[in-house]
Structure 1
Amino acid sequence: MWGRTEQQDFRSRVRGCLLGGAIGDALGAGVEFDSLSAIREAHGAAGVTDYVPAYGRRGAITDDTQMTLFTTDGLIRAHVRRDTGAWHPPTDVHAAYRRWAVTQRDWGPDERKEEDGWLAREEWLYAQRSPGKTCLSGLSDERMGTLESPKNPESKGCGTVMRSAPFGLLVGWEPQLVFQLSVECAAQTHGHPTGYLAAGAFSVIVHALARKDSLDHAVQKALAMLATRPDHEETTDALKRALGAMRQGMPSAERVEALGKGWTAEEALSIGVYCALVAEDVRHGLLLAVNHGGDSDSTGSVCGNLLGTIHGETALPPAWVAELEGRATVLELADDFAMEMTQGPALHAPGAASQAWLARYPRA
């Protein structure tokens, strides 16, 4: 049973996670493909200190945030569909990712059906923001990749990690189940063990933070869970490097770059975790996470998910929140997720349901 205080705290962490990730994504979007020297030459010795234009505007998000939103949507739909007796969340998340894939090839939502739900009809999401080719190819047909038969079995790109924070917000689930769901959904596009294990580790870290654990302890929980899985070594080593870097001195862009570029799942996880661990505050951590020569939007997104979950949405820099593309949609979805997780039985049940809720999240 959720008390009012617990509900409010959880909603703040969900908002913080989704908004924080989107802000980190937007901060890195304009420098994603630039070297550190190019970033400093263009923006000064401190590098990026604010949003820079990307995709025709400041505060623009990328495919990282798009896919995170559809992950969230899929998880809500899974819980709503449970009333029908159908309970297989990977299928619902896969359907959500397929709805995202449509936004990458259609001009707009005119052809979307009622059963697609409200998020798929958000016109601003119909924009290509350098979507990962592996994500697109993994979702190009109806077959759902599984751990036994994954899509793109050689790929360990960061497209798994950058979309997986919402699994960690399933605070009513046991961490082992969160980990398993996350890795199963990652295998829908990326079949290399490091690709899906890094996603599972990230989700478990977010899960511990959403349950008010410390980040250091959350990482230790992820390491313990990884140790039980075959082929975990790359992901385990990446997390241990993040912990080791924290003890090596003052944070710097060079120390971030020593962890990798962030193009692969384990490197994006390592950089995002390191920057969150050493962050003096949300602003400091996010800027550290995007000022390097690599996949700045993905590492910024991972770091933002972590810091937002720890501190809640009121700790996010207000000017960045105000200018963020799609802020209203992110908040609307975050609040819906929090309401479903805390008050789902009041919204829908096998015998009765809010028709407004089912219009937003159809059981079909």
Structure 2
Amino acid sequence: MGTTSGAVWGRAEQQDFRGRVRGTLLGAAVGDALGGPADALSLAEIRAAHGPGGLLDLAPGAGRRGTVTHHTQLTLFTVDGLIRAQVRRDTGAWHPPTDLHRAYLRWAATQRDWGPDERREDDGWLAREEWLYARREPTRALLLGLGDARMGTLEAPKNPGELGPEAVARSAPFGLLVGWEPQLVVQLAVECAAQTHGHPLACLAAGAYAAIVHALARGEALDGAVHQALTLLAVRPGHQPVSDALRHALGAVRQGLPTPARVEELAGDGTADGLLAASVYCALVGEDVRHGLCLAVNQSGPSAAAGALTGGLLGALHGETALSPAWIAELEGRPTILELADDYAMELTQGPALHGPASSSPAWLRRYPR
């Protein structure tokens, strides 16, 4: 399933990469938290509830401001699964989709159980974070896709008719595998999307999003990252709707000042390709991160997914320091997100020092059991 590069990371490169990993995960979570309270509302209802300018700040959701939805929960378990895959690689058992599936099943357990089961030592530390056991309106496709032990594959996907954006919204961490070849990043995201959202459109949208994040994490500009994703998509059967959506987003940038109507037109029926296009557009035209996120969530479609996707792009592009400190301060689970982000950056830049043949850290292997 691919390989990491043997490049040696300098200190400045490590710091830049860690800032982009933090930015991606925090940005996606903040966008999710911003859009969550508007998720089931039309634009008119959003304005009636929050004023004529719409939703411009964090609003109460699930009891307080700054709470996240299942999009953030699953994104964190994506990171956990990717770290576990890297650690398990030492054993010769190298099949990342299986490790991701196990991670998603750990998430599914949080939606059924009252709290962590301390007897399951192989769950690792993330599954013992009690705040993740809150049930935040997971979709039927997620619960069905992860409702038994069978792993969906491209040959036999779960929910083969499902077009929703949930698999895309958990796929930013694949793009942070900067040592991987881009086509392998796309392949992994596509395969893991099929575990819950088996329609080719949803799978390819997840692959395209991961490809864009991958280019951003390596320092590319956003429009260039989208063009790279289009090139990677072009060789894949059934890519046309996703490619057309991305081209539509690029074209919309030149059509005057951004409006909610344009965001809604791109988002369409709230399918994976439409939400991908809307998020790319909002990230491209936003004057800053805050403006881009507000554009994404003030529309009648799935606001939490649009916010999460846009926040992941802007965080990967600009790093954590571009995010609103006031929003980060109120973000649910912020310590966990930061800890996981730093672990991911450390694994990807210094993994051999943590669990290589020459040395290993018992504490790391307790956190991420093989």
TM-score (structure 1 length as normaliser): 0.98
Does residue 315 (structure 1) correspond to residue 322 (structure 2)? The answer is yes
- Give the one of 207, 212, 224 matched to 1:217: 224
Local SS of the residue matching 1:150: coil
What does residue 114 of structure 1 align with?
Answer: 121
Report whether the alignment pairs 1:123 with 2:130.
Answer: yes
Deviates more, 1:195-204 or 1:240-249: 240-249
**Residue matched to 1:49:** 56
Write out per-residue CA displacement over residues 95-129 of structure 1, whole angstroms, 9 at most, x where no aligned residue. Answer: 00000000011110035511000000000000111
Question: What is aligned with 2:31?
Answer: 24
Structure 1 residue 267: deviation in Å? 1.1
Q: Secondary structure at the match of 2:88?
A: helix
* Counterparts of 1:269 and 1:131, CA distance in 2: 19
Residue from 299, 302, 310 that aligns with 2:309:
302
Query: Distance in 2 between the 1:260 and 1:163 partners?
Result: 18
Which of 164, 167, 175 is matched with 2:171 structurally?
A: 164
The correspondence for 1:58, drawn from 59, 62, 65, is 65
Match of 1:360 among 339, 364, 367: 367
Q: Any stretches of 5+ residues in structure 2 without a counterpart?
A: 1-7
Query: What CA deviation, in whole Å up to 9, does each residue of 1:313-353 have, x standing for no partner?
Result: 01101000000000000000000000000000110024541
Deviations 1:280-326 (A, max 9, x none): 11010011110001100000000000000111101101000000000
Aligned counterpart for 2:243 among listed residues 227, 236, 240: 236
1:151-176 superposed Cα distances (whole Å, 9 cap, x missing partner): 11111210110000000000000000
Report the AA paired with residue 229 of structure 1.
R
Matched residue pairs, number? 363
Which runs of structure 1 show a deviation greater than 2 angstroms over 4 or more consecutive aligned residues?
Answer: 260-263
How many Å separate the matches in 1 of 2:197 and 2:214?
A: 22
Aligned counterparts, 1:153-302, within 5 A: 153-261=160-268, 263-302=270-309
Name the counterpart of 1:38. 45
Preserved contact between residue 18 and residue 341 of structure 2 (Cα < 8 Å): yes
Q: Take 1:305 and 1:112, find their aligned partners in 2: how far apart are those partners?
A: 34
Q: Deviations over 1:259-289 (max 9, x none)?
A: 1256311111011111001011101001111
1:190 deviates by 1.0
Structure 2 CA distance for aligned equivalents of residues 191 and 18 of structure 1:
25
Kindly report the root-mean-square deviation, in angstroms, between the aligned alpha carbons of the 2 structures. 0.9
Q: Which amino acid is the alignment partner of residue 72 of structure 2?
A: T
Unaligned stretches of 5+ residues in structure 1 = none
Say whether the 8 Å CA contact 1:158–1:262 is kept in structure 2.
no
Which residue in 2 is equivalent to 1:135?
Answer: 142
Contact 1:261–1:293 (8 Å) recurs in 2: no
For residue 101 of structure 2, the aligned residue among 94, 99, 109 is 94
In the alignment, the residues of structure 1 paired with residue 11 and residue 267 of structure 2 have an alpha-carbon distance, to the nearest angstrom, of 43
Read off the aligned partner of 1:157 and give its amino acid letter. Answer: G
Amino acid at match of 1:301: A
Select between 351-360 and 7-16 the one with higher mean Cα deviation: 351-360
Match of 1:151 in 2: 158
- Counterpart Cα distance in 2 of 1:135 and 1:26: 19
Q: Deviations over 1:69-120 (max 9, x none)?
A: 0000000000000111110000000000000000011110035511000000
2:345 corresponds in structure 1 to 338
Choose which of 67, 88, 103 in structure 1 pairs with 2:74: 67
CA distance in structure 2 between the partners assigned to 1:111 and 1:301 by the alignment: 31
* 1:41–1:95 CA distance, 2 compared to 1 (3 A): same
Aligned pair in 2 of structure 1 residues 324, 261: CA closer, same or farther (>3 Å)?
Answer: farther
Structure 1 counterpart of 2:355:
348
SS in 2 for 1:30: helix
1:38-90 superposed Cα distances (whole Å, 9 cap, x missing partner): 11111111100101111111000000000000000000000000111110000
Measured in 2, the distance between the counterparts of 1:79 and 1:301 equals: 25
> Which residue number corresponds to residue 324 of structure 1?
331
Using the TM superposition, name which of 346-355 and 143-152 deviates more: 346-355
CA distance in 2, matches of 1:210, 1:11: 10
Distance in structure 1 (CA, Å) of the matches to 2:255 and 2:319: 28
For 2:278 and 2:149, locate their aligned partners in 1 and report how far apart those are by CA, in whole Å.
33
Residue deviations 1:126-185 (CA, integer Å, cap 9, x gap): 011111210110111111111111111111210110000000000000000000000000
Report if the CA contact (8 A) 2:161-2:198 is conserved. yes
Give the equivalent residue in structure 2 for 1:4: 11
Q: Give the counterpart letter for 2:291 in structure 1.
A: H
